[in-house]
Amino acid sequence: MKTVYVDNNATTQIADEVREAMLPFLTELWGNPSSMHVFGGQIKKYVETAREQVAELIGAADPQEITFTSCGSESNNLAIRGGAEAMDKPPHVITSKVEHAAVSGPCHYLEDRGFRLTKLGVDKLGRLDVETLQREVKAGRSLTSIMWANNETGMIFPVGLIGEMVHEFGGIFHADAVQAVGKIPMNVSELPIDMLSLSGHKIHAPKGVGALYIRRGTKVKPLILGGHQERGRRAGTENVPYIVGLGVACNLASKHMDEENVRVKAMRDRLEAGLLKSCHGARLNGAPAERLPNTSNISFDYIEGEAILLMLDDKGICASTGSACASGSLEPSHVLRAMQVEGMSVHGSIRFSLSTYNTEADIDAILIELPKIVQRLRELSPFVS
């Protein structure tokens, strides 16, 4: 059975080019980039090349604005905790109700330590409540952390507008762009963004590497102390093979993103239209035109997501769900709850997230199998007569 992998917002396949580029650093080129001798010291230039490749993809003015980390979560922690603690006075921390735990976690950490925390809501289509933001930013200097795109629905937030509001009152704006990087074009040097997080394994590099863009002049207190690496912002010997891999992944995205997005979006749209047509009681979560090109979140009324997911899995189809039962918590997805998705739909949401490695045959397979599964589970449901 062929695996149909449509869970790319969770993690992605490592690109062949990325793996090939990493291998020399797992074999002969194992030196320490901080060494004085040539054997080690020569490695430094590869790290710097990777830094340039990351900077190019996101449009950073200077590669030195890129700090390598171990993952997107570390980037978010460094930006939020390190950013807040480096400000002269404890800032007003502003975030949203639909953030990834790697953002809400450090925000709550700050709240527990006496920082004022405000969480912005979203409307029923998942659009951020910027009116409340406009009011809240006036209440003193803020550290505002809002995701560029939502991992569950793919909703894209207006980071330019958010950054302007935050900057008008002297605040700092961090964008968690883990889901946006490599999926939509961006140019941070021209946007009012002070810090931006990204993760390697969401863009076909391996797990275990991420980066934080820190605009020149933005102060951040390091989380990991004890070394001069990354200009003192992140101590620890560089994870050279993975940094090289991240660089190549960024380079691939810079080169191919535009054309691949057209193809991926066409597949996503076909999948979505097909499911909404063939499955009665299927509804789209999110505002159709304001989403990442690869993500589709659909609720199937009166049935439960984990059951759908396991039956898809039997057919080799890998997706994910915002259902409570699948996560082990009792509450369904905080994102769908923030969007006030109704009770009959909130437990039956399935997220499909595509990548450049998906094919039209994958879409065909889902369009054949999923309507049958929905039908089967509806037959079991007491709410469908």
Distance (Å, whole) CA 306 – CA 320? 8
Residue with smaller CB distance to other proteins, 197 or 320: 320
Helix axes 44-58, 240-278, angle to 10 degrees: 30
Q: Which is nearer to other proteins, 247 or 348 (CB)?
A: 348
Q: To the nearest whole angstrom, how small is the minimum distance from the Cβ of residue 344 to other proteins?
A: 5
Start-to-end CA span in the chain (Å): 34
Q: How far is the CB of 381 from other proteins (least distance, A)?
A: 5
Catalytic option among 107, 279, 318, 325: 325
Compare residues 139 and 310 and give the one whose CB is closer to other proteins: 310
Residues between 316 and 345 with contacts to other proteins, criterion CB under 8 A: 323-326, 328-332, 343-344
Site pattern 363..382 for other proteins (x: CB under 8 A): ----------------xxxx
Place of tokens 């999926």: 183
Q: Are 95 and 79 in contact (CB under 8 A)?
A: no
Comparison of 58 and 312: residue with beta carbon closer to other proteins: 312
Residue type (1 letter), 198 = L
Classify the phi-psi angles of 236: left when phi > 0, otherwise alpha if psi is within -120 to 50, otherwise beta. Answer: left
Q: Which of 123, 310, 340, 368 binds other proteins (CB under 8 A)?
A: 310
Alpha carbons 332 and 340: distance in angstroms, whole number: 11
**Consecutive H or E run containing 105:** helix 101-112
H helices of 114-239, in order, are: 130-136, 159-168
Known catalytic residue at 107: no
Applying CB under 8 A, does 383 fall inside the site for other proteins?
Answer: yes
Of the candidate residues 314, 340, 368, 372, the single one contacting other proteins (CB under 8 A): 314
Q: How far is the CB of 377 from other proteins (least distance, A)?
A: 8
253 and 246 Cβ atoms separated by less than 8 Å: no
**At closest approach, how far in Å is the CB of 113 from other proteins?**
14
| 335 vs 151: CA distance, rounded Å | 9
Does 306 help bind other proteins (rule: CB under 8 A)? Answer: yes
Minimum Å distance from CB 350 to other proteins? 13
d(CA 346, CA 246): 36
Residue 266 or 310: which CB sits closer to other proteins? 310
Site track for other proteins across 252-291, x = CB under 8 A: ----------------------------------------
Phi-psi region of 94 (alpha: psi -120 to 50; beta: other; left: phi over 0): beta
Structure tokens given for 172: 């700092």
Taking the complex as a whole, the smallest distance from the CB of residue 328 to other proteins amounts, in Å, to 4
- Dihedral, CA of residue 223, residue 228, residue 229 and residue 234, to nearest 10: 10
- Distance of alpha carbon 359 from alpha carbon 261, whole angstroms: 13
What's the Cα-to-Cα distance from 293 to each of 9, 111, 125, 255, rounded to whole Å? 12, 35, 16, 17
Q: Which is nearer to other proteins, 11 or 381 (CB)?
A: 381
The first and second tokens of residue 351, run together, are: 């997220």
Q: Which of 182, 306, 308 is nearest to 252 (CA)?
A: 182
Which is nearer to other proteins, 133 or 326 (by Cβ)? 326
Give the interface size with other proteins as a residue count (CB under 8 A). 26
Among 18, 250, 307, 335, binds other proteins (CB under 8 A): 307
Which residues are designated catalytic? 325
- Site residues for other proteins per CB under 8 A: 302-307, 310-311, 314, 323-326, 328-332, 343-344, 347, 379-383
